[in-house]
Structure 1
């Protein structure tokens, strides 16, 4: 917000303070100053002069040669083309060397053979208005030689303040002055209505009726009738103040509404009385499809959630945002209705956002206005119009003095009830450490800000909150008010005593980074996607309502419709990345993401299979406090997708399609880097993994029977839903990173120290039925009840053929035995091998080859 210091001085005496000092004080108050701008539109000598003699130019019909006095020295010879240049006229003279707005430099010149030593200026040339029909005519009272920047008070300093959204009271200059007055302990001067300017015999109710048709859309509506106005250019001081605040002067009526809005923070609108049919103003909801052309010339098609101002037959304004073109102030407007009202901030914001109309009015309504100040604002607008007309008449402008109705129409369904907030002095001292602050100081600060002490008992004070402070709700808010006015710089500071000790991070943090490097070493590229999905993703993947992954956390206010849920699986995000790469002509991408999935606790009402039971268990690296409430469950996972083709066609090899085994190979390469190799791969249940091809996918389990993840080709149905080739689908796998961390920690614990005793290796070749799988062996090894020294087992050969009976096959394993307390003997190893062979015989009908 731009604050003119000339204007600010009307409400608090700050003439003795520099802009830099004021900037410091405002920033200390929490009104951060973002910049200081010094406005000096004129440079050099631009002064009041008087035309002594104006003669016809000898060589030009439309030019005059003027002799001009500037109060001292010889008269200046100036050639002028203005039609109103005449003898005796007091004018604005720009002498040689002066610089006008637009970097226009005044030099000695020769015009049609006559020398000219300056320029007589119009309002446009001084940047005062767009008028350029003639030179400025000053009153006889203007002293000769006076600098025009001083005469018009053109020089100013503007401070730019960055307001936080909660300080809506400082969207008006009076609000800033109030804070500054409290800080500097100086009186606040708020303009009081001038009774003589109102006519008690003129009643607004005779010219307009106000109807509030929807409860809650407007808490208060005030309409004030003013008769005999004229849409003429405003006095120079009014135009400059509006300009310095960043707005464009238009005419006296509109400028007055903008001036008072900038002064009070309350938006205002003026209607031409002729355009209000039925002498009625209604506040109602728009009719669906109703049309309104706003002041910016745009035709808007309204919805039923928009609040409109309407007369008896049509909408004449979009409440809280912008007025309608059909009732704006015109050049021939004579009588106006001044509207000052409150509108629902939520609905105003929605309307402004829907139409992309962030206006000065909507900015203020969205943040809240002072309901109690509405009648004063309406009266203030009328008086500024009256004051402007009075000054213009003094300058010889033909403009009538307006007649202001003595009574306004003020509809206020519910009386304002101020909030009451208690403040405990001991609590204030405890938080601020201002041990010396006393009760009188606290009361004085808060009362200077508009709070009223309603009751007190011992050191507990009760204050009523002023109507303009919507941000004060609790005791801590009052404490902040006292602290910022008293001075944050007066709060003593002391470094806390603390012990500096190493705070170990959870191992998952480093493990996550290590995994990203490992996966990159496997030939994959990392992607980072948004942690969102939408109901369409669940449908595309075939996840039904009773599936555990359907228990998604729903966002109350998503940024876009397609990001309404927190993801329960990362596959939709990776598929979106594949599609984006394909749109850019990149085929066969191999990408991964290591991130979190989110699951709604206690939301799933179905029967979770063993594969998905873990989604109701809170993940690691979550504070203990977080595990005791109902916040979403978070799991750290890794997801990979291999797009088609696996390798592209080249001169020395054909194109190779990606399949299940490519995914399994990368997965095993990744887990092997952490010593996890004995994973079990089992056929999937279609209901558990509906997005995977049932004949080319597997569920993955750890040797201890813990679900780790899955790997497989995308189901053709899912591929088609995402616009992919359903005949050659990508391969995906998704694994629980926390399970891998647990397995890795177990493996690392075995290798945490150097082995004192050597391992013993044995190779076994076993003949088993052809139907026996590697997974069956792993289950049997895991269930070996007499295991004592067996540490590892690895398959190194599978053979069918000569010397192997039909329907049989040979599977050879390398076994590693090791003891922690001694060197094993052959007898120790043979005893355990025999026990293992006995179990394999029982479980798998395995015989030594």
Structure 2
């Protein structure tokens, strides 16, 4: 929100020293309004920049976009040849001319030269080039009575300062100059001078009415609508004071009538709209919901397709305004307009917000309506605009104001106890100080005796401050204006609220420490993802369930179901920049659709480029499925799961993971987690991320209930100093049988067959397929290691255990022992 210092002086008496722009730059942030930047307007001392007049011009013979102009500056009939690219001037217009020798802001030196072969001895300037306005679309056009040759610094003696304020969404009242003036008046103890309105809602009619009726069928969207008719206006350029004010706030001056509506919006925060009465077909205005597929070309010259949930203001045949957002080209006020209809209304914030986002169209009006403008400000703003239009464009008001509906109800009073204020802020202030601050903000205080003998205040809330709904809101207002710098110093005492950290936190820290120790870089990414990505990887149901109702950006409209796509974005970025970083992980929350409901999960994801991409004298071992499985297992162990007992099942078909080279284990219902690891889908990597190197990844998803379980504590087992005995066994199994399943079965039998000592490990160390084996079979070689903690094992003991294992294999499984 851009606020002009000169404009503020219309409403409060700002002392040039006590309330200088530099002082305001310090005070406004203390009031809660951060300043993104502030800019001083007004030209520096510029020599050789004077008023000139365009005597004539012709098209440049060698450039379609240039004109060759004859310009007089009143110096004894001297005429200057100037080549200009602007198109917004005509013969006889007064303009600002920089003559050779002038140095414009930015150290831009003007000298005589040739442009595309034509002589040019000077430059006609825009307002922005001279630092006296924001308009850069064309050159400055001055009033016709401005004397030729007048130096710029004689014509523009007063500068201005414009503050670009960052306003929080709840303070819509401060999206106006009067709103900011009220805040400063409260801080400095000044009075607010509200502009007096002279126009009336009741006026005589002259001839045929401009519109016969206003019909509001969408009353839930527009509970209050007003229209006033003005005949005989003369549309033209705005006077200097109006044009300067409009341009100071970063807008472009259009014409005197439109500029007034924009001026009143910036002044009061109430959006207005002026129709050319001659362009309203059927002589009536209708506030209704749009027809599905109805089209309208808005003022930005874009044809927009409307839907049935959008409100419009229409005439008898077509829509003229997207309600609360933007008008159409069909009824805009232009140079040929003589009669206007001035609209002022209150529109539902939720309706305007939804329409604006659905159309992807934002305006100064929608920005205010969607935050909730003052419901009781419609009449004042309308009459204020009528006064200004009559002043700058002439004409007369025709007939009474047309009004449909009434002002929506507002919060009227909030109960406040002064003792609660003191308790809440933590230091002593008097009742008088509290009351003075509240009343300086326009809040009326009525004092009553409470039942318990204390004092109770009933504080009347103005309609423009609907953000004040509770007593704590009033307390915040007091301390904001009273000054946080006046809070006395005191020792801060903070007691811990928990004897130990939650296990989610401790697991997160342990996982981060482990993975960074494994040479991973941690990534911190947004939790919102692209809708097409969500649908592609996780299907239509997830697309529906994970969609935000009101996304701020179209490419961040869905909660993320996985950390992996975001980590792939990081890999792609680092590959493009050649950083050499190939291992990343992230900790965060993800969201999954389960039976039509959204489930929030704690997740850890990691990615590794599986190829050697750096030039080194010694080749390193590349990552593979087992690398990912080991890392995922360690993460689960840190989280308290027995990862060594997991059964990983191969993934057969998936757009994210490579079938046959990736696997998953666990389930949310019984175990509280799911782990997936292995190679990512090579075709998808190439198509979506343009990554041609294999990527190994792991994704661990854990439910919040998983962390409510008692964590399993790791136990240390002493290392035996006794030698181990090893036995090998070859088993013929179906090719569809998983090696991990064979390993677990043998380990289970070994545990049963050993007495007085342990089978400390079972490992598959060889796979054979081919000649000598039946079709559809494979041979797996298993190594078993036996050890006793207190003695050296005898061959007899080991052989007996080995025979027992083979017996159980033969009896309990379909495995064949290969001799």
Instruction: Label 1:170 to 1:539 Cα distance change in 2 as closer, same or farther (>3 A).
Output: closer
TM-score (norm. length: structure 1): 0.67
Q: What is the match of residue 198 of structure 2? A: 194
Structure 2 partner of 1:625 = none
Q: Deviations over 1:486-520 (max 9, x none)?
A: 11111223241358999889553454235535766
Distance (whole Å) between structure 2 residues aligned to residue 217 and residue 422 of structure 1: 31
Q: In the alignment, which residue of structure 2 is the partner of 1:449?
A: 441
Q: Is residue 136 from structure 1 mapped to residue 170 from structure 2 by the alignment? A: no
Q: Contact between 1:711 and 1:734, CA under 8 Å: does it hold in 2?
A: yes
Relative distance call for 1:333 and 1:100 in structure 2 (3 A) is farther
Deviation at 1:793, TM superposition (A): 2.8
| CA RMSD of superposed structures (Å) | 6.1
When residues 325 and 508 of structure 1 are mapped into structure 2, their CA distance, relative to the original with a 3 A threshold, is: same
1:45-65 alpha-carbon deviations (Å, 9 max, x no partner): 99999xxxxxxxxxxxx9999
Residue equivalent to 2:245? 241
Asked if structure 2 preserves the Cα contact closer than 8 Å seen for 1:169 and 1:469, the reply is yes
State the shift of 1:12 in Å.
0.8
Which one of the candidate residues 338, 346, 349 is aligned to 1:334?
338
Tell me what 2:760 maps to: 792
Query: 1:272 pairs with 276, 281, 304, which one?
Result: 276
In 2, distance between residues paired with 1:102 and 1:671? Answer: 62
Whole-angstrom distance in 2 between the partners of 1:498 and 1:287: 59
Paired with 1:371 and 1:535, the residues of 2 have a C-alpha distance of 37
CA distance in 1, matches of 2:524, 2:124: 67
Specify the SS of the correspondent of 1:176.
helix
1:346 offset after TM fit, Å?
3.0
- Deviation (angstroms), 1:318: 2.3
Distance 1:719 1:34 in 2: 43
Q: 1:662 to 1:41 in 2, by over 3 A?
A: closer
Deviation at 1:468, TM superposition (A): 1.3
Q: CA deviation at 1:668?
A: 5.3
How many residues align structurally? Answer: 716
Could you tell me how far apart the structure 1 residues matched to 2:162 and 2:762 are? 80
1:26-48 deviations in whole A, cap 9, x for unaligned?
22211223444333336379999
CA distance in 2, matches of 1:345, 1:442: 33
**CA offsets per residue over residues 691-736 of structure 1, 9 Å max, x none?**
999988877699xx98997789899999999999xxxx99977667
Cα gap change, 1:838/1:174 in structure 2, threshold over 3 Å: closer, same or farther? same
Is residue 43–residue 98 contact of structure 1 (8 Å, CA) maintained in 2?
no
Deviation at 1:169, TM superposition (A): 0.6
Structure 1 position 540, deviation (Å): 7.7
* CA 1:785–1:193: 2 relative to 1, 3 Å: farther
Structure 1, residues 353-385: CA drift from partner, whole Å, max 9, x if none? 444433222222222211211111111111112
- Using a 3 Å threshold, how does the CA distance of structure 1 residues 838 and 740 change in structure 2: closer, same or farther? farther
Assess if the C-alpha contact under 8 Å between 1:423 and 1:461 holds in 2: yes
Distance in 2 of aligned mates of 1:693 and 1:97 = 71
- Hey, what's the Cα distance between the residues in 1 that align with 2:644 and 2:150? 95
> Partners in 2 of 1:235 and 1:185 — Cα distance?
33
Other structure's SS at 1:333 match:
coil
The 5-angstrom pairing of residues 767-782 of structure 1 reads 773-782=742-751
Q: Which of 487, 493, 508 is the matching residue for 2:483?
A: 487
User: Is 553-562 or 346-355 further displaced after alignment?
Assistant: 553-562
CA contact (8 A) 1:790 1:817 kept: yes
User: Matched residue of 1:178: which SS?
Assistant: helix
Counterpart of 1:423? 416
Contact 1:516 1:594 in 2 (8 A): no
Partner of 1:28: 30
Counterpart of 1:843? Answer: 808
Between the aligned partners of 1:157 and 1:810, the Cα distance in structure 2 is 84
Alignment of 1:311-710 (within 5 A): 311-388=315-392, 401-405=394-398, 407-413=400-406, 415-438=408-431, 440-453=432-445, 456=448, 457=450, 458-497=454-493, 508-513=507-512, 515-516=514-515, 556-557=549-550, 564=558, 566-567=560-561, 595=587, 598=590, 632=599, 634-637=601-604, 663-664=625-626, 667=629, 679=644, 684=649
- For residues 697 and 345 of structure 1, do their structure 2 counterparts lie closer, same or farther at Cα, with a shift above 3 Å needed? closer
Q: Give the conservation status (yes or no) of the 8 Å contact 2:172–2:373.
A: yes
Give 1:816's aligned residue: 787
Aligned match of 1:288: 292
Deviation of the 1:766 alpha carbon: 6.5
Contact 2:759 2:785 in 1 (8 A): no
Other-structure match for 1:111: none
Q: Which has the larger radius of gyration?
A: 1
1:750 corresponds to which residue? 716
Q: Distance in 1 between matches of 2:336 and 2:235?
A: 7
- Asked if the contact 1:40–1:156 (Cα under 8 Å) also holds between the matched residues in 2, the reply is yes
Instruction: Kindly state the Cα deviation for residue 352 of structure 1 after the two structures are TM-superposed.
Output: 3.2
In structure 2, the CA distance between the partners of 1:255 and 1:530, relative to structure 1 (3 Å rule), is closer
Shift of 1:306: 2.8
Q: Structure 1 residue 191: deviation in Å?
A: 1.2
Work out the CA distance in 1 between the residues paired with 2:2 and 2:295. 35
Runs (5+) with no aligned partner, structure 1:
50-61, 67-76, 83-90, 108-118, 139-144, 390-400, 606-629, 649-657, 801-805, 819-823
Name the structure 1 match of 2:21. Answer: 19
**Residues 763 and 812 in structure 1, CA contact (< 8 A), matched pair in contact too:** no
